[in-house]
Structure 1
Amino acid sequence: MTNQLFKLLINFLNKPKFILGFVLSLIGTSLGILLPQLIGKLLDVKFLTEITSRPNVLAGMVLFFISAYVIRATSSYLVGTCGSQALNKIQKYIYSHLLKTSVQELDTYQSGDLASRLTNDMSIVLNFITVVVPNLLLNFIIIAGSIYFLFTISPSMTLISLFIVPVLLSIIVPINTRLETYYNNYQTGVGEISSRISHKFVHIRLMKAFRGERSEAREMGKSFDRLTSNYKKIIGWSSFQNTLISSLMMGFIILILVLAGGEVARGTMTMSSLMTFVLYLTQMIDPISDISEAMTEISEFKSVSNRLMEVLKLAKDDYREDKFSLENTAINMSGVHFAYDTDNILNNLSVQIPSGKHVAIVGPSGAGKSTIFYLLMKFYQDYQGSIQIGQQELKNLSPSQVRQMISYIPQDNTLFHGTIRENLLYGKNSSVSEERLQEILEQLDLSRVVDELEKGIDTGISDSGSGLSEGQKQRFNIARAFLVDHPIYLLDEVTANLDSVTESIISKAIDKFTAGKTRLTIAHRLNTIREADYILVLNKNGSVSDFGKHQQLLQRSGLYNHFLSELQEAS
């Protein structure tokens, strides 16, 4: 999965800019590697006398010193900005894939967890690409160059110094394996907490109504404790690793200095060479420490890259736009079976819905009324049996084609964060004219509501629709569904939150909008049921109990009469 993310990064990387930054980093680091040679020679009296007597040479040395660090800073900036731009494209790429992912796949994830992957996980990737990777490149170059010059001064002491490498690897590798697991658990925990918080604050009114503050604080406290416990393990192992590596490095440096001091005492090494050797050893300390810390960040990066790439493997909806002729809008369902996981919802459901007719769907809770809508909208596609729309097999139509010809109004009054205009002109409604917009608002008795708002139709609302009554939100949802003409309408009891007067107005408008169109309504109101052309009665096991006109069902369907009596009692 990490390799897949790297392939994406390379694909989106500004390669000329990155190569320029990398070349500059090579130049800047190479200049930096030469600095200890220059500083070591300052202990040579002859060399020191020569440069002090020649101002131009001294100025060149100062310029050399400044250039080394300016070039390195420029290279880090170029490489870092390349990584940032590539990450920006990856975020858009992954978000685009998420939007195209099937509802059935997305149902297995919490919304907050998906949000966490695109925000928290991406911030870790950003830090890795813009900071960790450039520093790793520079540090390896510094270490390689330093080792080369150490060999030119004293091969024997350099070989002794290199014994630290296998020792460090024996510490780093097993600890990083453990850290990767902890980081994965930590990111999963962050996603779960994010999801729970967002869900609870969307339903804050219900929570407060039931005085759930204490239980919520207690449950979230447990989640925070688990997250903190996991993070303590990360800090503990990281601290242990860094401390052990730093102490080993310091011990090796002391050992080398003792050996080098002996060389000087025996006259086999000059003080200038000793100074240069020590400077190169010192120059290697920070890069090795940085690489050690980077190993921890690599573990974290591997963990989040797995989570990000997992999203890209989810099954996507088919978005082909093949043209097809829809001769009629009759819906034929034959022997349809469907289950959520192992829970059977529809069992051998068969019904023929005539084109251009209004069919009310009634039945007990759990009979599969909403599931029929979900299948027709292709939110779920792993059903058995046959579903045809206008003699076209549903499985042969792409979700994009189906959703273009069907208008669906769910039971919940969902409005997005933004203005009322943005909510109404959302998605496939984006090209609707102002005249059509005003006509629909007028028909649904919403013009007066809009005029009373401070900024009219451009008034901003929250994702919970605060500032609007449930009835107003419901009417705006209906308006959004009818802005564009569709051959088929799926309505999930869309007048449930309206008073009787407003319901009468809205029902007449809906009848006008859907005249001659195929319309399915999940109905819980007597008026809606009686006025339908046909009524589909479902059993509790998700099969068809009966299908016919109101008067016909009154005479022959005991289940239908029982359902009506319950509605009358509820009224």
Structure 2
Amino acid sequence: MSNESFSKAGAPAVNFRRGPGAGFVAVPEKAQNQTATVKRFMEYLLSEKILLAAMLLCVLLAAVASVAAPAFQSRAVDVIVSGEYSKLYGYLLMMLLMFLVLSAASYLQGFVGALLSKRIITGIRTGLFDRIMHLPVGYVDSHSRGDLISRMTNDADNIANTISMSLGTLFSAVITLTATVSMMLWFSVPLTVCSCVTIVFTLILTKIMTKYMRRYFVRRQELLGELNGRVEETVTNYRTVAAYGLQSEALAAFEDTSDRLKKTGIIAEIIGSMMGPVMNTLNNITFLIVAVCGGYLAMHGSITVGVISAFIIYSKQMSRPVNELAQIYSQIQTALAGAERIFGVMDETSEDSAGEDLPEDVKGVIEFRNVNFSYVPGSPVISDFSLRIGAGRKIALVGATGSGKTTVINLLLRFYEADSGEITVDGRNIRDISLKSLRDSIGIVLQDTVLFSGSVKDNLAYALTSEPDESEIERAARLSNTDVIIEQLPHGLDTMLEDAGARLSAGQRQLFAICRAFLSYPRILILDEATSSVDTRTEKHIQEAMVSLMKDRTSLIIAHRLSTIMDADEIIVMEQGRIVERGRHEELLSAGGRYSELYRTQYAGLGT
């Protein structure tokens, strides 16, 4: 196994390094402080003050209407009992008005809640995606991509559903409960006290059950992220799975994670669904208490029949928000668990992109001075590495797999920071150069080509900040021998690549990547096995085109095919993160050292 792919302790592999680093599943996170999560979420909520105020107004109107209607009903019952029918129609009209207000306010509450949900979740998703785009490469490599996607989709959807459906219910429950209890106290204090007896038991049971609910809902979200990561990894690398006939093993691994998710989800839902029945039982007991105590007080003349009628409705109305709070609690817990996971990513430290820009006339002088690096402390990958590359020179890095070649490139691009030593470009420490300026000056052609869903033209011009002329693209295509492939496509440069160009051959994809490098015309060029996926004839044409591309540009080449770097100005032979030989092709062959061994082994057909 390559030292570049893993350290002895399992260090993550970077995004373009060959190895299974991208498939790692993140270690389940511990839930953060719930109070801190709620406080953080409130910042997003309060950023939409107008919509929030509109929702509260709708909730308030609905609550007023819902508590006023029973009061008018109480008066209507009393006038019927007393025979004052002339007043009955007025009370009935007021009851109808309250029902209409309640219906309108409830509708507007749902509309405003949906709008509020979309605006807030858009802000959260944008903030999360922005942070992901600025995370260090090492973080992305050491976490499951599926888990990150799960936070962007499942966790965010849970928050959106809670805002649109549960937030209004939460406000309504609190306001309605407060208003209802106030009206009950106004009608009869003794009967109100009797009605609230069961609230104490409700609070005790809720506290006990929620302690277990939170634990299982957080774990369920973690397992969902793990499951998504496993699916993403298997589908992305399905060719490898199929080639080795490991479909059954992949299915078994999926079923194991899915089974753990199922068991955790069942327990979470059982505990969550128990809240409703428990609350209903307590509410029925409350209704019985109101009926018995109300009848007793009415017999002694303390209250009227109309008050009992109102209290029966109020007791139900008081139990409704309590039930709603119990029923939405599980959803709120799920949303908070998702918010914790999202905020966990958003709190990660971004790449340090600050620094000065390189001048436009970058010469491309690169120097490594006593550089040391390890993915895990105590397991060095690069040791005391020193190398100076003059402007416009063509330098090749060779060595056995795991010798540290690609890690050198990672350090130059600042995908990882060196533990010690210094790396400079034109005499300036790359730590003092802004990431954008540094990476804009470097063109990369990798063995594992990355294309995106979109047109061929968009893919070729991906690294450019301005729209290129079509003639410029055609020129780059001719230089890279890509024009033949483009001409064979149904719509030429406007052909859409579906599934990131999955229908193209590996060689065609690599030619597109080489054309992209031609089009960006960087001062520094990095070629990491750039011709490994093309046939020998195409490789020869590409090498000829590379001569013009690399002219007057500093070129750093990583190659296993030693035939591709025979004309390099200097060949650097690496072993265990150190330079063991350096010189031109003929010099190193005649020296009979490590390079000569690699060369003879390769051409003997034994491979490296």
The reply on whether 1:177 has 2:214 as its aligned counterpart is: no
Of 539, 551, 570, the match for 1:503: 539
**Counterpart for residue 502 of structure 2:** 466
Of 535, 548, 559, the match for 2:594: 559
Of 141, 145, 164, the match for 2:198: 164
**Counterpart for residue 470 of structure 2:** 434
Task: Report deviation, 1:519.
Answer: 0.3
**Counterpart for residue 222 of structure 1:** 256
Once the two structures are superposed, what CA deviation does each residue of 1:441-465 show, in whole Å capped at 9, x if it has no partner?
1222222212222222222223452
Q: 1:360, 1:528 within 8 Å by CA — same for their partners in 2?
A: no
CA distance, structure 1, for counterparts of residue 398 and residue 47 of structure 2: 52
Which amino acid is the alignment partner of residue 363 of structure 1? G
**Counterpart for residue 224 of structure 2:** 190
Task: Report deviation, 1:48.
Answer: 6.9
**Counterpart for residue 288 of structure 1:** 322
Task: Report deviation, 1:421.
Answer: 2.1
Task: Report deviation, 1:25.
Answer: 2.2
Residues 380 and 4 of structure 1: CA distance in aligned 2, closer, same or farther (over 3 Å): farther
Q: 2:59, 2:109 within 8 Å by CA — same for their partners in 1?
A: yes
Q: 1:338, 1:346 within 8 Å by CA — same for their partners in 2?
A: yes
Once the two structures are superposed, what CA deviation does each residue of 1:272-304 show, in whole Å capped at 9, x if it has no partner?
110011111111222110111222222222211
CA distance, structure 2, for counterparts of residue 53 and residue 297 of structure 1: 43
Which amino acid is the alignment partner of residue 457 of structure 2? R
C-alpha RMSD of matched pairs (Å): 2.0
**Counterpart for residue 115 of structure 2:** 81
**Counterpart for residue 521 of structure 1:** 557
**Counterpart for residue 102 of structure 2:** 68
Describe how 1:315-334 pairs up with structure 2 within 5 A.
315-320=349-354, 322-325=356-359, 328-334=363-369
Of 520, 544, 548, the match for 2:579: 544
- The 3-state SS of whatever aligns with 1:415 is coil
**Counterpart for residue 246 of structure 1:** 280
TM-score of the pair, normalised by structure 1: 0.95
- The 3-state SS of whatever aligns with 2:444 is strand
Residues 382 and 361 of structure 1: CA distance in aligned 2, closer, same or farther (over 3 Å): closer
Of 428, 432, 439, the match for 1:392: 428
Which amino acid is the alignment partner of residue 370 of structure 2? G
Task: Report deviation, 1:10.
Answer: 3.3
The reply on whether 1:105 has 2:156 as its aligned counterpart is: no
The reply on whether 1:31 has 2:62 as its aligned counterpart is: no
Unaligned 5+ runs, structure 1: none
Which amino acid is the alignment partner of residue 163 of structure 1? V
Which amino acid is the alignment partner of residue 296 of structure 2? G
CA distance, structure 2, for counterparts of residue 47 and residue 469 of structure 1: 91
CA distance, structure 2, for counterparts of residue 482 and residue 545 of structure 1: 33
Larger mean Cα displacement after TM superposition, 415-424 or 378-387: 415-424
**Counterpart for residue 9 of structure 1:** 44
CA distance, structure 2, for counterparts of residue 294 and residue 195 of structure 1: 29
Q: 1:333, 1:351 within 8 Å by CA — same for their partners in 2?
A: yes
CA distance, structure 2, for counterparts of residue 291 and residue 264 of structure 1: 32
CA distance, structure 2, for counterparts of residue 174 and residue 430 of structure 1: 60
Larger mean Cα displacement after TM superposition, 212-221 or 324-333: 324-333
The reply on whether 1:486 has 2:522 as its aligned counterpart is: yes
Task: Report deviation, 1:241.
Answer: 3.0
Task: Report deviation, 1:316.
Answer: 0.9
Once the two structures are superposed, what CA deviation does each residue of 1:212-270 show, in whole Å capped at 9, x if it has no partner?
22222222111111000000110121133332222122212212221112222333322
Describe how 1:143-154 pairs up with structure 2 within 5 A.
143-154=177-188
TM-score of the pair, normalised by structure 2: 0.89
Residues 21 and 7 of structure 1: CA distance in aligned 2, closer, same or farther (over 3 Å): closer
Q: 2:356, 2:432 within 8 Å by CA — same for their partners in 1?
A: no
CA distance, structure 2, for counterparts of residue 302 and residue 453 of structure 1: 49
Task: Report deviation, 1:427.
Answer: 4.2
Residues 255 and 11 of structure 1: CA distance in aligned 2, closer, same or farther (over 3 Å): closer
Q: 1:21, 1:79 within 8 Å by CA — same for their partners in 2?
A: yes
**Counterpart for residue 446 of structure 1:** 482
**Counterpart for residue 200 of structure 1:** 234
Which amino acid is the alignment partner of residue 247 of structure 1? T
CA distance, structure 2, for counterparts of residue 4 and residue 390 of structure 1: 48
Which amino acid is the alignment partner of residue 33 of structure 1? V
Q: 1:83, 1:130 within 8 Å by CA — same for their partners in 2?
A: yes
Once the two structures are superposed, what CA deviation does each residue of 1:464-504 show, in whole Å capped at 9, x if it has no partner?
52221111011001111221111101110101111111111
Unaligned 5+ runs, structure 2: 1-35
Describe how 1:110-149 pairs up with structure 2 within 5 A.
110-149=144-183
CA distance, structure 1, for counterparts of residue 46 and residue 325 of structure 2: 26
Residues 327 and 232 of structure 1: CA distance in aligned 2, closer, same or farther (over 3 Å): closer
**Counterpart for residue 18 of structure 2:** none
Task: Report deviation, 1:319.
Answer: 3.6
Task: Report deviation, 1:161.
Answer: 2.5
